[in-house]
Amino acid sequence: MNKILQLCLIFISTTYAFGQNNDNVKYTLNYVEKSDKVLITIQFDSLNINTVKLIIPRSAPGTYELTNYSSFVDNVKAYTSSNKNIEGNIGEGSYFVFSDSKNLYISSITYQVDIGKMETTLLGSYASSKVRKNYVGILGYSVFGFVEGLENKQIVLDINTVTDWPIFSTHRPQKERKKGTDSYFIENYAVLADAQYLLGEGVEIYQIANTKIPLFVAVYAETETNIKEIGRRVLKSFNKLTSYFGFVPMPHYTVCYEFLSPISKRHDYDFSMEHLNSMTASFDISKAITNYNSNAKIGSIVHHIAHSWIPIRSYGTGYRPFEWQTAPLIETIWLNEGFIWYISYYTVLDNKQILDFFNEILDSAPDYIKKKSLKELSLLGSTQYSMDFRIGKNLFSRGALLAYDLDVLIFKETNGQKSFKDAILGLLKWTEVNKRAFRYDEIASIISKSVNVDVSKVWKKWQKPMR
């Protein structure tokens, strides 16, 4: 049977017991074997067709770039309660609209996402979902859109796939996985989008023992790997970070690894990405972890898990609430990245030579970067952080060197009683109390009050252009 027809039949058979009085939004993800596409269904209380916009993300927290995920979406349809369907049309932005002269009310939308095309088109492996042998690896924001106005409602998610395929999600990580179908209750769209969904017999799961929270490793590899060795490195990284911060904000955590055969020489498999309660790392098979190595480099793991504290749970304007229809202008990427580089490498991993690396990056920067203030460079990096990675490297280097200068000042002024760590804990506490993003003009004051030291001189020094 035609794969697309199979997907459509799955949707038609989906129950409408969801009901008009249920305040949840229901999502269903269907995947049939050997297809490059997934079918997404969104069900909701009836809305006037002329008011509905289906938003497809163009960016996600921490990506600092525009990604046209709508270009992989097709066959968009809205349905009335009597199952009449209306074709969706692409709007002026990253959304689809529906129109009908009879002023109909609709209660569900379906669309397909071509993951095979997505992986071929997007050169950064970290930005794409994947369809490989016995494996579908899904980044939530690459396939799930939302109906504008419903993004803060609770969500019920059903996943249906090949009957004997295990299903794993970072929403509810567990060693024993359900096969063929599973359901999740999710707080809102942002939580749905910033999670990962791994389907198929090719996924190996390992739960690390003796941890403060449930800690998992999920691996899909097209070569030999040693998942227990990956787990050892993850646990070492996790323990070092929890020792530094003194508390764990995540209810559970998953490190997702892919070791893939490159689909072209132009595709990049060297980036990782942080998420709400997980991180993803996509590498080519030459980087596979196979053997125990007591001296293995764990900086990338430390760095990305550390993002669970900053900026995921303490952040500046633009990071949250997130603007899914575009890459929001964020003034504090240097803080998000640079402060975590400093914590991860200089402090937690005790790599004091990393300062030379940061200074070398600043010294070799092109004029167009040196002429920008810290805020201006961050705004530029909001969409081009990795597109021209000189922007990204200069952002995290300036932020890390600012952190170092703050550390030196705080240590000196408090006679060694406080450090940059107290400044970071102050930012985390401030966000916990105020439950909002901090404004740019509040950062220096929050840090100063946290350590009882006036940091304005160091702050002003690093706000200026390098030239």
**159 strand-pairing partners:** 29, 182
Q: Which domains does the chain have, with CATH numbers?
A: 3-122+140-187 (2.60.40.3650), 203-306 (1.10.390.10), 333-463 (no CATH)
pTM above 0.75, yes or no: yes
pLDDT for res 280: 98
pLDDT for res 426: 98
pLDDT for res 22: 59
pLDDT for res 81: 87
Per-residue pLDDT of the chain (467 residues; tens, 9 = 90+): 454 444 444 444 444 444 444 589 999 999 999 999 999 999 999 999 999 999 999 999 999 999 999 999 999 999 998 889 999 999 999 999 998 777 899 999 999 999 999 999 999 999 999 999 999 999 999 999 999 999 999 999 999 999 999 999 999 999 999 999 999 999 999 999 999 999 999 999 999 999 999 999 999 999 999 999 999 999 999 999 999 999 999 999 999 999 999 999 999 998 899 999 999 999 999 999 999 999 999 999 999 999 999 999 999 999 999 999 999 999 999 999 999 999 999 999 999 999 999 999 999 999 999 999 999 999 999 999 998 999 999 999 999 999 999 999 999 999 999 999 999 999 999 999 999 999 999 999 999 999 999 999 999 999 999 98
